C-alpha cells in the first residue's frame, strides 16, 4: 500500500536550507497541518480529521480550528476555511503565548516576554530574599523563558540588555 504523500494527495511544506518536508506538528492537544495551498490537500486534511473522529470516537471541534496561509489570496483562504468549517487566522497570531508571524527584530515583538520577566522578578520580592535566593530566582526565570522563547527566535542584543537591567534591579534592588 502506497503512502498518501507518495501519490501526491498531501504535500507538505519545505523548511530550512535542506528543504525538509513538514506536514504535521503536534503539541499536547494541538495539531498543526502544513500543506500546499490546493483544495485536494485541504480535503485530505479534512478526511484525516474525520477518520480520527471515527477511529478514536473523539470529536474535532472545527469551529475552534483555524486556517492560516502565507502568500495566499483571501478568497482562497475563505474557501479553504469554509471547506473545513473553521475560522480564518490572521498573522501575526498567538500560539502558546508566543507571537507567530511577527518580526523578531522589533521591540514590540519582545514586549510580552519582557513583561513576563518583570512580573516574575519584582523588586519588592527581591528585598525579602537572600542574595542566594535572588540568584536562584533569576536563574529559574531566565532558564524557563530561554528554553521556551529563545529556542524559537534569535533575540537581538537590545533584548539581552533589557533583561540584564531587570536582573540587576532585582538582584541589587
Radius of gyration, CA atoms only, the chain: 22
* Residue 167 covered by a domain: yes
The pLDDT value recorded for residue 71 is 81
Same domain flag for 120 and 60: no
Q: Which domain holds residue 154?
A: 102-172
Distance CA 15, CA 61 (A): 28
* Residue 20 covered by a domain: yes
Is residue 39 scored above 80 in pLDDT? yes
Q: How confident is the model at residue 2 (pLDDT cuts 50, 70, 90)?
A: very low
Q: Which residues contact 56 (CB under 8 A, 6 or more apart)?
A: none
- Please state whether the predicted TM-score (pTM) of the whole model is above 0.75: no
Asked if 117 contacts 169 with a C-beta cutoff of 8 angstroms, the reply is no
Taking residues 62-73, report their average pLDDT: 87
pLDDT tens digits for 124-162? 777 888 899 889 988 888 777 767 788 888 888 888 898
Amino acid at each position: 500500500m502506497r503512502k498518501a504523500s507518495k501519490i501526491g494527495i498531501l504535500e507538505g511544506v519545505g523548511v530550512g536550507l535542506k528543504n525538509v518536508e513538514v506536514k504535521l506538528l503536534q503539541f499536547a492537544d494541538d495539531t498543526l497541518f502544513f500543506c500546499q495551498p490546493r483544495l485536494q490537500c485541504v480535503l485530505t486534511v479534512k478526511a484525516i480529521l474525520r477518520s480520527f473522529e471515527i477511529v478514536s470516537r473523539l470529536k474535532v471541534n472545527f469551529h475552534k480550528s483555524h486556517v492560516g496561509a502565507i502568500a495566499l489570496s483571501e478568497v482562497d483562504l475563505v474557501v479553504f476555511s469554509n471547506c473545513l468549517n473553521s475560522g480564518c487566522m490572521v498573522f501575526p497570531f498567538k500560539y502558546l503565548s508566543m507571537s507567530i508571524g511577527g518580526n523578531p527584530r522589533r521591540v514590540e515583538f519582545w514586549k510580552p516576554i519582557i513583561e513576563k520577566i518583570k512580573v516574575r522578578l519584582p523588586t519588592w520580592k527581591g528585598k525579602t530574599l537572600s542574595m542566594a535566593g535572588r540568584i536562584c530566582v533569576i536563574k529559574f526565570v531566565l532558564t524557563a523563558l530561554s528554553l521556551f522563547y529563545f529556542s524559537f527566535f534569535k533575540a537581538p542584543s537590545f533584548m539581552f540588555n533589557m533583561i540584564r537591567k531587570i536582573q540587576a534591579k532585582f538582584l541589587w534592588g
